Amino acid sequence: MSFLTDAEKDALSIKRMIFHVVGKSLEEPILLDEISPPQHQDFFLERVKSSLRGNLFAFRERSATEALLREIASGERNFTECTQALALDFQSRHKKTMSVGVFFIFELAAGDGVTIYALIKYDNEDVVRYVLEEGGSSVPRLERFQESFVRKPEAMQKIALVRLDDGAGGRIMVRDRSNTAHISDYFEGFLQARRVNDAADMSEKLAAALKDTLKANRDSLPEEIQRSGVNRIYEVLRQGPLFDPGDCEPLVTACFGVQPENSKVRRDLDRNLRNRGVSEETFDVSPERIQKPRRHRMETVEGVQVTYDEDNRPAIRERDDGRQEIVIVTAGLKRDDADIETGPRRG
């Protein structure tokens, strides 16, 4: 199940926004007031939407972050006061050097009474811009800024999108650039949350999605992949790669060969990942959960099929006439008969 439906994504708008300056070089965060009405909504909504692929978490019981967000949602406490408490807690949990930046809190509407909260640690960027004087000197004027927000995803170091459940609990979509496969310890402690989906289970679902895609596209794939595509998928996954739905290119190429941008293979894989519930999660594949099937099958161009297990693979010999021989060494034949499941031919 997706964190937001397509209709909810299209309906996203910013209701309230605020940020506070954080960083380990500061003795205390610089606490600021709410920006009302919200400014530059298009820019910040684009940043939020770019974070909708992340790892799913759920609040633990008695999470202080959940409690503060519920106070904001109910109007029990001042919005600015609650977000200041969140910023103080966020900074206090960081044990290592934290770059100076800002801690954003957005309250967003997603249509039909749905409210989403976005908590974002945005790093400051040290940039120099140039200004051309109109009608004057051709020498540009340079201006340096350290307090700036940029479009590049790397500037958003930590993102948590929160959707509160009725009564208690809630779903959290987390994107942590310092630990993309999970979440950094201090950010997990700040949210007081636990991972919902297990990496081992997701590894099995990923394997199933890849096999579904192979089955639907085998005839259009390169000959080598048609011949042994399932083995190829298992060999790739047993290396324990990082699966990142935002960058599937290495996995697609390794399993299916180079694919055009809008290929059916890509479309089918996207659908199968959604159907299996792994279209938004980033995780390290668990090799121990990727077990090769015990039974294998050969099929010749003439339609002859040979089923075997891993330890009894028939030998393949090249003939002088370009054909191949399948050599089976056996202790004896158990059956050599017409296939009882094959019905009579119809003229």
Q: Is residue 255 domain-resident? A: yes
Place of tokens 């039909």: 112
Q: Compute the C-alpha angle 108/111/116, nearest 5°.
A: 30
Q: Do 209 and 269 have their domain in common?
A: yes
Total number of domains in the chain? 3
Place of tokens 């999605």: 209
Domain holding 317, by residue range, is 295-327
Rounded Cα–Cα distance for residues 46 and 49 (Å): 5
pTM more than 0.85:
no
- CA 166 to mean position of chain CA atoms: 26
Specify whether the CB–CB gap between 102 and 26 falls below 8 A. Answer: no
Q: Is residue 336 domain-resident? A: no
Rounded Cα–Cα distance for residues 315 and 308 (Å): 12
Beta bridge partners of 121: 103, 158
What is the pLDDT at residue 347?
46
Q: Do 11 and 115 have their domain in common?
A: yes
Q: Do 32 and 113 have their domain in common?
A: yes
What is the pLDDT at residue 172?
94
Q: Do 42 and 160 have their domain in common?
A: yes
Structure tokens at 310: 């891993």
Q: Is residue 333 domain-resident? A: no
Q: Do 77 and 105 have their domain in common?
A: yes
Decide which of 238, 268, 289 is a domain's last residue: 289
Specify whether the CB–CB gap between 118 and 161 falls below 8 A. Answer: yes
Q: Is residue 139 domain-resident? A: no
Decide which of 196, 228, 260 is a domain's last residue: 196
What is the pLDDT at residue 345?
52
Q: pLDDT (tens digit, 0 to 9) for every residue of the chain, 347 residues total? A: 578 888 999 999 999 999 998 988 788 898 999 998 998 888 889 888 877 778 999 999 999 999 999 999 998 889 999 999 999 999 988 766 677 788 999 999 998 889 999 999 988 665 555 655 666 555 555 554 555 565 555 667 899 999 998 888 889 999 888 888 888 888 999 999 999 999 999 999 999 999 999 999 999 999 889 888 988 999 999 999 999 988 889 999 999 999 998 899 999 999 999 999 898 889 999 998 887 766 777 778 877 877 777 667 788 888 888 888 888 877 777 776 666 665 555 44
Q: Is residue 239 domain-resident? A: yes
Q: Do 282 and 318 have their domain in common?
A: no
Specify whether the CB–CB gap between 36 and 19 falls below 8 A. Answer: no
Q: Is residue 224 domain-resident? A: yes
Q: Is residue 138 domain-resident? A: no
Q: Do 279 and 300 have their domain in common?
A: no
Distances (CA, A) of 312 to 157, 262, 316: 52, 40, 12
Q: Is residue 130 domain-resident? A: no
CB atoms inside a 10 Å sphere around CB 96: 8
* DSSP tag of 176: E
* H helical segments located in 50-151: 64-74, 79-92
Q: Do 33 and 155 have their domain in common?
A: yes
What is the pLDDT at residue 307?
78
Q: Do 192 and 111 have their domain in common?
A: yes
Which helix or strand (DSSP H or E) is residue 228 part of? helix 223-237
Rounded Cα–Cα distance for residues 180 and 158 (Å): 10
Q: Do 87 and 225 have their domain in common?
A: no
Q: Do 181 and 94 have their domain in common?
A: yes
Tell me how long the chain is: 347
Q: Do 67 and 208 have their domain in common?
A: no
What is the pLDDT at residue 1?
56
Place of tokens 């010999």: 317
Of 6, 57, 54, the residue nearest 281 (C-alpha): 54
